């Protein structure tokens, strides 16, 4: 044995690692331990073993499947907050942990600091500020007796703090000043994006994701629509990014009666678990139209599969995303975590909707591919309708991403609220009279804001995406003007062929019933 090998062997013996055929017959786990030990004791320069381990874990998880991953402490915290759940919770998320948090402690107020003034653009309906009567268009003069002009952009920090903390807001409205004491609270982002009546008998509910309060909020909105005469429902799952498995199952149970299979899960180390409906449910009869698209993911696909296989609802739109894997988040003491795929979920008919992915997971036991290459993935609509009201160019896609579209609509509404409300006192008046084109003030403001953010305007791009951009700006202005997210959906849906086809099918009972029969 040469000198270098003897030194290495002596080091491993001193560390307590077995020396039998050390270099030739080690197990994979022993090889990993030996490699890390050698790097820390023999490498020519000092190394951060922690950084090496973290990178190796990250690479290892990345090569398993598209959804298993290593989360840094910051990512793990964001992942936990997005779902309002706890680490270790099983979920089927299709989104990144870096998304906007679903819950935050603040005053529930949105607005802009402009030239020494702070004008409120939106007030969350569940916040203490809303309950006290603060509304969009109000101007905040001071926070805790410090003038807004002195606070400057730091005013946003003044709206945050520990739950239960009281802040003093001096508010001006129509030249009248009033002081409010507002309690900071955890303002949960609603997962019911909109709920309204289309006509006397048809309701509409849009779900953006599934967090721990989704079912309770859904039942509350459903009850309110029933009180208005709702007998049929359009359930919008387009762009629904997934979320908590349990909440998706609860929502499915609201629609399916008896004790019917809703979904089952199974993995190599996870025995089969079945989930069935219960006799009670909030909407077990009445026509149901479900809108889906290529961004309907994971938990939304669980709900869709449960409804479609139980012939409860007609599906309109485009084939769903195709994510049929369940992850579990396992924490480490340093705050980081593994998000690891532990099972697949299957629709009642036994279909796994996971679409094929390029780097397939190979089981250590058999070495065989565990992902089917079948084309039968995702949830297929009963009526296929393509959406024409979405971004076609990179320019239009970046407008919302860079914030220019949102900012322009907010600033325009703030500066013109009095005149707009005088001209459009109701949303119906707004729908009929307010339009947007390339020469509109709000459009010009958006183009300027986008240019400042490095997103250059192009006449050709605008020509291709005129419908999408104009509609989005109108919808955002409506949301800000009337302080109700439902009006955003009203405007967007008015120009959506998917939505319009769903509304049409509700009225055609014979066609609706024939489509249900085809599912069988």
**C-beta separation of 209 from 247 below 8 A:** no
What does the angle CA 80 – CA 323 – CA 327 come to, to the nearest 5 degrees? 35
The whole-angstrom separation of Cα 126 and Cα 389 is 31
Q: What is the DSSP letter of 153?
A: G
- What lies within 8 Å, CB to CB, of 21 at 6+ separation is none
CA gyration radius, the chain: 27
**Is-catalytic flag, 496?**
no
Q: Which of 121, 298, 304, 320 is catalytic?
A: 298
DSSP H helix total and E strand total for the chain: 18, 21
Pick the catalytic residue: 246, 309, 449, 465? Answer: 309
Contacts of 262 (CB under 8 A, 6+ apart): 249, 252, 253, 256, 275, 276, 277, 306, 310, 348
The SS3 call for residue 110 is strand
Active site residue 298: yes
Q: Are 256 and 277 in contact (CB under 8 A)?
A: yes
- Cβ atoms of residues 499 and 318 within 8 Å: no
Nearest alpha-carbon partner for 217 in 320, 84, 79? 84
DSSP letter for 367, please.
-
Residue with tokens 């203490």: 128
Q: Which of 297, 323, 355, 501 is catalytic?
A: 323
Q: What is the DSSP letter of 154?
A: G
How far apart CA 150 and CA 512 sit, in angstroms, is: 61
Q: How far is residue 213 from each of residues 72, 216, 390, 393, measured CA to CA in Å?
A: 26, 5, 29, 36
Take residue 477 and report the two structure tokens written for it: 């202005």
Q: Can 68 be counted among the known catalytic residues?
A: no
The residues assigned a catalytic role are 298, 309, 323
């Amino acid at each position: 044995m040469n000198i270098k090998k003897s030194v290495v062997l002596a080091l491993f013996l001193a560390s307590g690692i077995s020396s039998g055929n050390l270099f030739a017959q080690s197990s994979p786990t022993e090889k990993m331990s030996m490699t890390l030990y050698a790097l820390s004791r023999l490498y020519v320069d000092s190394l951060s073993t922690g950084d090496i381990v973290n990178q190796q874990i990250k690479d290892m998880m990345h090569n398993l499947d598209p959804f298993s991953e290593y989360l840094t402490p910051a990512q793990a915290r964001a992942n936990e907050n997005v779902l309002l759940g706890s680490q270790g919770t099983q979920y089927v998320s299709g989104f990144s942990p870096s998304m906007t948090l679903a819950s935050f402690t603040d005053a529930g107020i949105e607005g802009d600091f402009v030239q020494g003034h702070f004008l409120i653009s939106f007030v969350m309906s569940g916040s203490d500020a809303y309950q006290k009567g603060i509304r969009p268009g109000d101007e905040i003069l001071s926070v805790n007796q410090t003038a807004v002009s002195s606070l400057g952009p730091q005013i946003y920090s003044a709206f945050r703090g520990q739950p239960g903390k009281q802040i003093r807001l001096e508010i001006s409205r129509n030249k009248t000043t009033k002081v409010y004491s507002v309690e900071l609270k955890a303002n949960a982002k609603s997962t019911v994006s909109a709920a309204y009546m289309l006509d006397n008998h048809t309701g509409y509910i849009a779900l953006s994701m599934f967090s721990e309060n989704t079912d309770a909020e859904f039942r509350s909105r459903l009850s309110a629509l029933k009180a208005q005469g709702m007998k049929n429902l359009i359930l919008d799952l387009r762009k629904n990014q997934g979320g908590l498995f349990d909440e998706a199952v609860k929502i499915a149970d609201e629609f399916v009666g008896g004790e019917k299979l809703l979904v089952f899960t199974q993995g190599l180390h996870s025995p089969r678990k079945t989930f069935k409906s219960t006799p009670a449910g909030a909407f077990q009869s009445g026509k149901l139209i479900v809108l889906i698209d290529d961004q309907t993911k994971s938990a939304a696909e669980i709900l869709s599969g449960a409804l479609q296989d139980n012939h409860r609802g007609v599906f309109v739109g485009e084939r769903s995303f195709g994510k049929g894997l369940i992850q579990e988040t396992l924490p480490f003491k340093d705050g980081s975590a593994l998000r690891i795929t532990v099972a697949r979920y299957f629709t009642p008919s036994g279909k796994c909707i996971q679409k094929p992915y390029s780097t397939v997971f190979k089981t250590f036991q058999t070495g065989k591919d565990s992902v089917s290459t079948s084309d039968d993935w995702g949830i297929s609509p009963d009526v296929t309708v393509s959406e024409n009201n979405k971004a076609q160019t990179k320019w239009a896609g970046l407008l919302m991403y860079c914030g220019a579209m949102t900012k322009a609509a907010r600033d325009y509404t703030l500066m013109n609220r009095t005149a707009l409300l005088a001209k459009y006192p109701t949303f119906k008046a707004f729908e009929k009279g307010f339009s947007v084109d390339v020469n509109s003030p709000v459009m010009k403001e958006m183009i300027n804001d986008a240019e400042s953010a490095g997103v250059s305007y192009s006449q050709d791009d605008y020509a291709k995406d005129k419908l999408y951009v104009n509609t989005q700006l109108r919808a955002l202005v409506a949301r800000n003007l009337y302080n109700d997210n439902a009006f955003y959906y009203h405007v967007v849906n008015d120009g959506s062929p998917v939505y319009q086809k769903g509304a049409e099918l509700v009225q055609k009972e014979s066609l609706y019933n024939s489509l249900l029969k085809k599912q069988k």
